[in-house]
Amino acid sequence: MSATYEIRAVEHIGEHRLRLTFADGLVGDVDLANNFEGDLGPAFEPLRDVNYFARVTVDHELGTIIWPNGADLAPDTLHRQVISPS
């Protein structure tokens, strides 16, 4: 993974929305609600709960966002979502 995509900061801004700051200076919002629909594995199931989702932090070693149960999302995918929201 390129350092460009590393996440430096995260802010929960409501529901399943996050404001992300990347190493390349890009700052933008992503709505991840669609990521938690349908059949999920055990790591992602708790993220349906907005209160649990809000416990997101940055793992600076991995360069991405994580939750207390170890669930994480690929920073390059999040970078693309900020640039080209669906």
Could you give all domains of the chain from N- to C-terminal order, each with its CATH number?
3-83 (3.30.2020.10)
Mean pLDDT to the nearest integer, 18-45: 91
Mean pLDDT to the nearest integer, 33-51: 89
Which position has the token pair 């989702």?
53
62 pLDDT higher than 70: yes
Tell me the helices (H) and strands (E) count for the chain, helix number first.
2, 5
2 pLDDT higher than 80: no
d(CA 29, CA 10): 10
d(CA 9, CA 64): 9
